[in-house]
Amino acid sequence: MSTHHQKLERHSLGFAMTILVVASIGGLVEIAPLFTIENTVEKVEGMRPYTPLELAGRDIYVREGCYACHSQMIRTLRSDVERYGHYSLAAESMYDHPFQWGSKRTGPDLARIGGKYSDAWHVAHLEAPRELVEGSIMPGYAFLSEARLATGHLPASLKALSRAGVPYTKAQIENAEKDAARQADFEQNYEGELQDSYGDNVQVRDFDGAPGRLTEMDALVAYLQMLGTLADLETLNPQESSR
Amino acid sequence: MALKEKDPVSGTNLTGHEWDGITELDTPVPWAARWALWGSIAIAAGYWVFYPSFPTVTDYAKGILGYSSRLEVVSSLKEAEAERRQTFAPFQSGDIASLAKDPSLEARYGAAISKLYEDNCAACHTAELTGQEGFPNLTDNHWLWSGTPEEIEYTIRYGINATHDETRMAQMLAFGADEMLEKPQVTEVVEFVLALSGQDHDALAVEAGEVVFEENCAACHGDDGRGGYENGAPDLGDDQWIYGGTRNDIYHSVYYGRQGVMSAWEGRLDDPQIRMLTLYLLWSAEDAPS
């Protein structure tokens, strides 16, 4: 048994080549699927890039580590679907860099939280979870209602994402700062513009219930209320998108 | 050194390496570990053949079993649905009004429906249905939208101020912020509401407040302030408040307005579930002390 090994180990060039072959099998298995990602992501109507306000909310979600306790991945299991709704699609995280599937559910899955509760409930719950849900172990995030939302970096964020393949237009990148403020505008004056730019499923209103102030709470609640509402699941053909 | 030389003490093969007279045993990996390794490689190969595995140029390798986790969950949900149809047979069809007249349902299904309620409604209305600030009590005798089974069912299905096209609209206007009333008028009408609900109030302001009320509020809250059943305007004369009954709370309601939002449950809950919850609320309302 030791003869082959000995031959291999004593020929430096042959040994190096063998290492290369074995390691590239691992690489192939990991990298090759990325070239055919188009086949993996099913086509579904309604998916669009996040608006600047939703994106800012998503950044806060990541910053605060909500993903440590909440998943955004409804698995194809009866128990998951019964509790949280339609199983998650690959398409639903195609504009996520990185995705927020998470790996632990200390709290419930949030993939379809959009529309389940009112804005007022989210604000009250994020500020003081135990006031609304007896025995909740979720930490409070009251400071989000006080913190003004920084929007200066949003054009750069959109630009970076567009380099990673998210189809933001030039106008969307230029207007990112303005669009963020407009989506949370109390008077909803710019609903038409935002929907023309991003799509009919953009929700425009004052999310945090504090008119005239653009806060981090606005952004986070806008993000939560959008989650799981974009993909038009009724147009999805289960046979065609079976996996 | 010759190959296959054995160590005289242990009888194990030597590797043939030697450093300054020190040699190395060529102890094989334990057989169990070897079997586990080759076994798992064989199982992986099996999966590759039988189950969906690797992407191909235009599609993916589907595996000879044609398994799809998505189709599987769809069919297991159908099974679950069929089971539920059996278990909750009375709620599958039929109109809600006649179901409400059947007294035997509560004893048989009450406990099961309470779970459905807790999963979906308790976050706002609390597990005891008594509500909390901003979310109304569902057990009191006064319904914002009337307490007939059909109306309650409608509220649950389409929500209040929700995004659904059929949703109910409950708009308490921002009389102060939108400058429909002067600040002193707001103060006066607040005193009137305090008097109406039997609380301490400034008797001097009440008379002026009553005039303001008749002109601005009675259209929705009713001439006597006891609420209307068509517009979701609450009874202002009882001790039940959605947003609180202190002078400050009432002032805030009148000055800034209130638009409570209750999500539309159509889509999240199916028809039988909405029927069950409607009955659950009716049973609880009757049981509760008013």
CATH code at position B139: 1.10.760.10
- The arithmetic mean of pLDDT across residues A190-203, rounded, is 94
Q: Shortest CB distance from B76 goes to which of A33, A78, A117?
A: A78
**Is residue B21 assigned to a domain?**
no
Length of chain A: 243
Q: If DSSP codes are grouped into helix, strand and coil, which group holds residue B86?
A: helix
**Is residue B3 assigned to a domain?**
no
Residues B161, B83 share a domain = yes
**pLDDT score of B3:** 52
Lowest mean pLDDT among A92-106, B46-60, B100-114: B46-60
pLDDT > 70 fraction of chain B, expressed in percent and rounded:
96
CA distances from B68 to A234, A243, B72 (A): 19, 5, 6
Q: What is the dihedral of CA A29, A34, A36, A41, to 10 degrees?
A: 120
Res A205 pLDDT > 60: yes
Residues B151, B81 share a domain = yes
Residues B272, B147 share a domain = yes
**pLDDT band at residue A1 under the 50/70/90 scheme:** very low
Which residues are paired to B55 by β-bridges? B60
Q: B239, B199 in Cβ contact below 8 A?
A: no
ipTM rounded to 2 decimals? 0.80
Residues B228, B86 share a domain = no
Q: What residues in A contact B54, CB-CB < 8 Å?
A: 29, 32-33
- The larger pLDDT score, comparing residue B228 to residue A54, is at A54
> Does the beta-carbon distance from A39 to B76 stay under 8 Å?
no
Res A40 pLDDT > 90: no
- The C-alpha of A134 sits at a distance from chain B's nearest C-alpha, in angstroms, of 9
**pLDDT score of B290:** 36
**Is residue B19 assigned to a domain?**
no
Residues B150, B99 share a domain = yes
Which residues are paired to B266 by β-bridges? B269
**Is residue B283 assigned to a domain?**
yes
Say how many domains are in chain B: 2
**Is residue B6 assigned to a domain?**
no
Q: C-alpha angle B137/B139/B140, rounded to 5°?
A: 80
Residues B228, B122 share a domain = no
Res B24 pLDDT > 90: no
Q: If DSSP codes are grouped into helix, strand and coil, which group holds residue A16?
A: helix
**pLDDT score of B190:** 96
Q: What residues in A contact B16, CB-CB < 8 Å?
A: 2, 6
Res A2 pLDDT > 60: no
Residues B153, B81 share a domain = yes
Please give the distance of CA B212 from its chain centroid, rounded to a whole number: 40
Length of chain B: 290
Res A84 pLDDT > 50: yes
- The arithmetic mean of pLDDT across residues B131-154, rounded, is 88
Q: What residues in A contact B82, CB-CB < 8 Å?
A: none
Residues B273, B147 share a domain = yes
> Does the beta-carbon distance from B261 to A2 stay under 8 Å?
no
Q: B97, B282 in Cβ contact below 8 A?
A: no
Nearest residue of A to residue B132, measured between CA atoms: A132
Q: B113, B277 in Cβ contact below 8 A?
A: yes
Residues B266, B250 share a domain = no
**Is residue B225 assigned to a domain?**
yes
> Does the beta-carbon distance from B3 to A40 stay under 8 Å?
no
What does the H/E/C string look like for A105-132?
CCCCCCCCCCCCCCHHHHHHHHHCHHHH
Measured CA to CA, the distance from residue A219 to residue A157 in angstroms comes to 15
Q: What range defines the domain where residue B210 resides?
A: 183-256
Residues B160, B87 share a domain = yes
Residues B121, B155 share a domain = yes
**pLDDT score of B95:** 83
Q: What is the dihedral of CA A180, A186, A190, A191, to 10 degrees?
A: 100
**Is residue B27 assigned to a domain?**
no
Per-residue pLDDT reduced to its tens digit, B147-166: 889 999 999 999 999 988 89
H helical segments located in B198-270? 203-216, 218-221, 247-256
Res A176 pLDDT > 90: yes
- The arithmetic mean of pLDDT across residues A195-201, rounded, is 94
Q: For residue A98, is the peptide bond before it cis, meaning its omega torsion is within 30 degrees of 0?
A: yes
Res B288 pLDDT > 50: no
Residues contacting B168, CB < 8 A, separation 6+:
B145, B154, B155, B158, B159, B160, B161, B232
**pLDDT score of B264:** 93
Residues B94, B145 share a domain = yes
- The arithmetic mean of pLDDT across residues A127-143, rounded, is 94
Res B116 pLDDT > 90: yes
Q: A121, B162 in Cβ contact below 8 A?
A: no
Query: Please, what is the average pLDDT of chain B?
Result: 89
Per-residue pLDDT reduced to its tens digit, B182-202: 999 999 999 999 999 999 999
**Is residue B163 assigned to a domain?**
yes
